[in-house]
Amino acid sequence: MIEVHQYENGQPKEFVADDISRLLKEPSLLWVDVANPTEDDLTCLEKEFSLHPLAMEDVRERHQRPKLEKYPTHAFIVVYSSELQEVDIFIGPTWVITVREHEGAGEPWSVDNSRQRFDRTHAEECDVGFLVYVLLDEIVDGYFDRIDEAEERIEELENLIFGEQHQDETAVQQRLFDVRRRLLKFRRAVVPLREVVGALLRKEVDWIDDHDVVLLQDVYDHVLRAIDLLDSGRELMGNAVDAHLAIINNRMNSVMKKWTSWGAILLGSTLIAGIYGMNFKHMPELNWYYGYAYALGLMLTITVVGYWYFKNKDWL
């Protein structure tokens, strides 16, 4: 469904898609928003605003890399929300189009906060650049909540790794790699946004005014901060994975030490039992009255001495 809002003297007015042709002839700011567009909706937008076919192809194909593309009559921006929902933004001389689509079973990124925030502005701030700033600022601010959630997961995993109770190693390893994969995927959506906002700061889009550049600088700083936090999170995840593998190896070494110790202890007794179990007729202690007790005592002595030795080495 296409929602059309016109801002005349800072006051929003709602219209329908059929009014777009008439509204484009007026100098007032026009914001057209569509969530989960149908093919008819996209065709209508392409026709009314003369949108470039390559940009419309990217909208239809989706899963684009965050980017800024410039065309003779408009600019095209692709960004992703904190939930990795694609948001396509078209920027024209007096109009802005937002196309929001959901990913899988999720919901499209909501523009309610952006709309309320923009509606509260003064009339002199209601221009294309300020609307783009509000949209990008709301999207970037949502990144920090997602990053905080990732940091909480990392802290929880660290507690599991270094906890005294033994955990299911396979499950912990799976969770580690799942969080690591999510961070990597999220970073791929955030890092290219630095170049997008940087291009806006350089006024590569003609309809961004000087006072909008000052506001976009704040968005740029937030993007850099989000990238730094993501890089820190990736480093922590790498350290957690290395620590988990090291702990697994240490536990494996401890088990091997115990098995090796018991094998060495039993080796002496097995050797004595093997020697006296040979079927030779002429053996020194074969007919000795105390031979049986002597052999058992010797095996017991070797076992006790071996246990004491490995226990003092902390192998048992």
The DSSP result for 240-298, as a single string, is HHHHHHHHHHHHHHHHHHHHHHHHHHHHHHHHHHHHHTS--S--TTTT-TTHHHHHHHH
Query: H-type helices in the chain, by residue range?
Result: 20-23, 39-49, 53-61, 112-119, 128-162, 169-201, 210-276, 291-312
Q: In what order do the strands lie in the sheet with 86-91?
A: 11-15, 2-8, 29-35, 95-100, 86-91, 75-80, 67-70
Looking at residue 143, its pLDDT comes to 95
Looking at residue 167, its pLDDT comes to 62
Residue type, 302: I
The DSSP result for 218-248, as a single string, is HHHHHHHHHHHHHHHHHHHHHHHHHHHHHHH
Q: How far apart are the first and last CA of the chain?
A: 71
d(CA 270, CA 46): 87
Give residue for tokens 């006072």.
211
Looking at residue 164, its pLDDT comes to 60
Looking at residue 281, its pLDDT comes to 73
Question: What are 98's strand-pairing partners?
Answer: 33, 89
Question: What are 34's strand-pairing partners?
Answer: 2, 99
The CA–CA distances, whole Å, from 176 to 154, 169, 252, 286 equal 8, 10, 20, 63
Structure tokens at 227: 């990238």
Structure tokens at 182: 């999510």
Angle at 109 between CA 106 and CA 114, to 5 degrees: 160
Sign of the torsion formed by the C-alpha atoms of 292, 294, 300 and 302: negative
Q: What is the pLDDT of residues 90-141, one digit of tens each?
A: 999 999 999 998 876 578 899 999 999 888 875 556 789 999 999 999 999 9
**Length in residues, the chain:** 316
User: Domains of the chain (ranges plus CATH)?
Assistant: 1-110 (3.30.460.20), 253-312 (1.20.58.340)
d(CA 258, CA 251): 11
pTM of the model: 0.78
- Is 67:77 a contact under the CB 8 Å cutoff? yes
User: What does each of the 316 residues of the chain score in pLDDT, given as a tens digit?
Assistant: 899 999 887 788 999 999 999 999 988 899 999 999 999 999 999 999 999 999 999 999 888 999 999 999 999 999 999 999 999 999 999 999 999 988 765 788 999 999 998 888 755 567 899 999 999 999 999 999 999 998 888 888 888 777 666 666 777 778 888 888 888 899 999 999 999 999 999 999 989 988 899 999 999 999 999 999 999 888 888 778 777 777 777 778 777 878 888 888 888 888 888 877 777 777 777 777 777 787 888 888 888 888 888 788 777 7
Looking at residue 165, its pLDDT comes to 62
